[in-house]
């Protein structure tokens, strides 16, 4: 009786532990994969398709106005899907749509070549203002933009720990807000410098010069971004 009771007592905790660990562990990779699919869908429908269709149509010889309208039309079903399925409006989709609409309106403006050259400044200025505007929300730009990277590197469990730091660590919030502010400031700086270049250098030199300017600013921004996060122990 003693032996039987002892064996039964030892077996009792083992059975639930095995049964619990199996089902509990299984859904984690599934949820992480679902989050990755959702982020990939957002990237595809909110950025790649609308912007890719614009440049693709332009390369095929379509007019600027038609190309921009096509990009906006491609966004509408995704926005409608978010409203019906998730009962919310996807912020990035609306932001991209607003850029398409603004670009379409600007394309109707006729004027000197220098006026037309500053149209890209509207885009980078709008992005910069939007990034800075997220500082007034509960989740600044860098916090939201980093979700896909966090999930890809450390999975859903790591994401939960990373997001918990936002709620519990004031220093963590300060660093992310500072990085967000720098991103927004660099986009605004690019917009201002493009306007200055448009009115100070020869028209034929503007396309190459503005491209080199953007690559230099972006390269410097990414270098500083990685250095800052690494220095403060925030690099995953």
Share above pLDDT 70 across residues of the chain, in percent, rounded to a whole number: 65
Mean pLDDT confidence for 93-122: 66
Average pLDDT of the chain is 74
Query: What local confidence, expressed as pLDDT, does residue 104 receive?
Result: 63
pLDDT at 181 over 80: yes
Most confident of 73-77, 146-150, 180-184: 180-184
DSSP secondary structure string, 127-183?
A: HHHHHHHGGGSSS-HHHHHTHHHHHHHHHHHHHHHHHHHHHH-HHHHHHHHHHHHHH
pLDDT in tens, 48-88: 777 777 778 877 887 766 776 777 777 777 777 777 776 65
**Residues 75, 78: Cα–Cα separation, whole Å:** 5
pTM exceeds cut of 0.85: no
């Amino acid at each position: 009786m003693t032996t039987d009771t002892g064996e039964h007592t030892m077996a009792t905790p083992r059975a639930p532990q095995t049964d619990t660990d199996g089902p509990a562990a299984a859904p984690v990779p599934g949820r992480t994969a679902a989050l990755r699919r959702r982020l990939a869908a957002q990237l595809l429908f909110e950025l790649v398709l609308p912007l890719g269709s614009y440049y693709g149509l332009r390369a095929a010889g379509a007019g600027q106005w038609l190309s921009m309208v096509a990009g906006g039309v491609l966004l509408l079903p995704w926005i409608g899907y978010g409203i019906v399925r998730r009962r919310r409006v996807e912020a990035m989709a609306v932001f991209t749509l607003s850029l398409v609409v603004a670009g379409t309106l600007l394309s109707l403006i006729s004027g000197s070549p220098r006026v037309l050259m500053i149209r890209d400044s509207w885009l980078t200025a709008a992005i910069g203002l939007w990034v800075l505007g997220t500082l007034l929300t509960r989740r600044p730009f860098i916090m939201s933009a980093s979700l896909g990277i966090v999930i890809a590197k450390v999975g859903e469990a790591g994401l939960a720990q990373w997001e918990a730091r936002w709620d519990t660590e004031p220093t963590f919030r300060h660093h992310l807000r500072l990085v967000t502010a720098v991103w927004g400031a660099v986009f605004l700086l690019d917009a201002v410098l493009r306007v200055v270049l448009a009115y100070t250098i020869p028209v034929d030199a503007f396309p190459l010069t503005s491209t080199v300017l953007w690559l230099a600013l972006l390269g410097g921004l990414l270098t500083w971004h990685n250095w800052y996060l690494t220095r403060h122990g925030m690099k995953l």
